[in-house]
Amino acid sequence: MKKGFIYITLLLILLLSVFPCNAKGKGEAVPYLETRIDRNHAVVGEFLIYEVILVSPDPNVAGAEVMSNPEFPGLDIGRSAPDNHLEEVNIDGRLYYRAVIDRFFIGTNNKGKYTIRGGDYRIGINRQITVDDPYWGPSVANRVEMFALSAPDLKIKVDALPVNNRPQTFSGAVGKFEVEMSMIDKPLAGDNIRMFVTIVGKGDLSEALLPDIPKCFPDGLHFKSMTDSRSHFIKNGSIGSEIEIECLFSADKSGKYVISPIEFSYFDSDKGKYVTAKSEPLEFEVKESKHYDETPTVIMDV
């Protein structure tokens, strides 16, 4: 067993003041570990989150140390920071405290059946004990009781993406996404105009193909460029991501224009089929630009 891998600190700020320990009549804490994955039946290209969760009847958790890492044979992984906070839960009518102590991102690049082997951890629980000092007399002191715990194994199955009904515009993304268009500029004829396209939802968009935005522009508008930025977030134990695309275009003359809905095709892992998300059309008015080329009047004192 390898020691000293990674020390994960839990509940660093005033645990005892937030969750005071009632030593009398409470009984010894017997913590245990759970493993969780947001989907145990996935498809190729889906991005999953694997978590090791501490469950303890005692809230006074001092820390968690990784003794041996979980193993993910055949899967691409990356470690992520855990949440570092306790959550109160009711299990079989009793109050417990749950915290994510380890987390991994999993990439599913090949179909097959996989077994994730749980790692080994050492958990510390703060205990209050009575010390009978010969000079000062009885007093209460803290000590840390250590527990050696193993995370249970977990199995997942990964299917290939279906070939039937796959659209030619398929972006490669798997999950559930929405598309929006917006504009913050006051568009003027002849000036550069900025528009934003946002694709956001549950799933990984880091390698997704961008939609064909220029084809949605009507006559009279000149598409110039677009720049995309991508980010990830975690929500309800699943990974989400967002693409924000900044588009630059111009209009030759004033008037009312409509940019057609932007389409983004992906595989909906919940429905098990390909879906095309569409934004609302973007309607706006371009006004005449007011540029003054005249030389300003020079006023001189006489």
- Cα separation, 63 vs 144, whole angstroms: 10
| Pairwise pLDDT comparison (227 vs 302), residue with the higher score | 227
Which helix (H) or strand (E) element contains residue 127? strand 120-133
Select the more confidently predicted residue: 294 or 101. 101
Other residues' Cβ atoms within 10 Å of the Cβ of residue 213? 19
pLDDT tens-digit readout, 196-225: 999 999 999 999 999 999 999 999 999 999
What pTM, to 2 d.p., does this model score? 0.75
At 6-49, the pLDDT tens digits run 334 333 333 333 333 333 334 454 899 999 998 999 999 999 99
Kindly tell me the sign of the dihedral angle through the C-alpha atoms of 150, 92, 237, 21: negative
Tracing tokens 């371009």 back to the chain, one arrives at 286
Domains of the chain in start order, with CATH, are: 7-159 (2.60.40), 170-286 (2.60.40)
Residue 299 binned pLDDT confidence (cut-offs 50, 70, 90): low
- Determine whether 226 is exposed, middle or buried from the number of CB atoms within 10 Å of its CB (0-12, 13-18, 19+): middle
Give one word for 11, left, alpha or beta, with left for phi > 0 and alpha for psi -120 to 50. Answer: left
